[in-house]
Amino acid sequence: MCLICVDFQRQRMTVFEARRAFGEMIVAMDPEHAKEVQEMLDKAEREQEEQRAAGASSASASVAAVDAASSSAGVVNT
């Protein structure tokens, strides 16, 4: 395993940092390992997007619930 893999899997490096380091190190990497690192980072980015989307829809649902509760209680939002 390379330093990118080790640090990323130990959560010592963000996806952004790992992607930047990968861009710098790809020329010295074995092509097969470079492909593995690329796939690992792609997967991590997809998972982050899914978490953001789930968080956004969860936040929207929470706001809607608060608005509904306020409306039924007669509270006017200004």
Q: What is the pLDDT of residue 69?
A: 60
Residue 44 lies in a domain: yes
Domain holding 34, by residue range, is 14-53
Domain count, the chain: 1
Q: Is the pTM of this model over 0.75?
A: no
Q: What is the pLDDT of residue 31?
A: 96
Residue 42 lies in a domain: yes
Residue 36 lies in a domain: yes
Residue 60 lies in a domain: no
Residue 65 lies in a domain: no
pLDDT in tens, the chain (78 residues): 799 999 999 999 999 999 999 999 999 999 999 999 999 999 999 999 999 999 877 666 666 666 666 565 555 555
Residue 59 lies in a domain: no
Residue 66 lies in a domain: no
Q: What is the pLDDT of residue 68?
A: 62
Q: What is the pLDDT of residue 4?
A: 95
Q: Using CA atoms, how far apart are residues 77 and 70, in angstroms rounded to an integer? A: 8
Q: How many residues does the chain have?
A: 78
SS3 58: helix
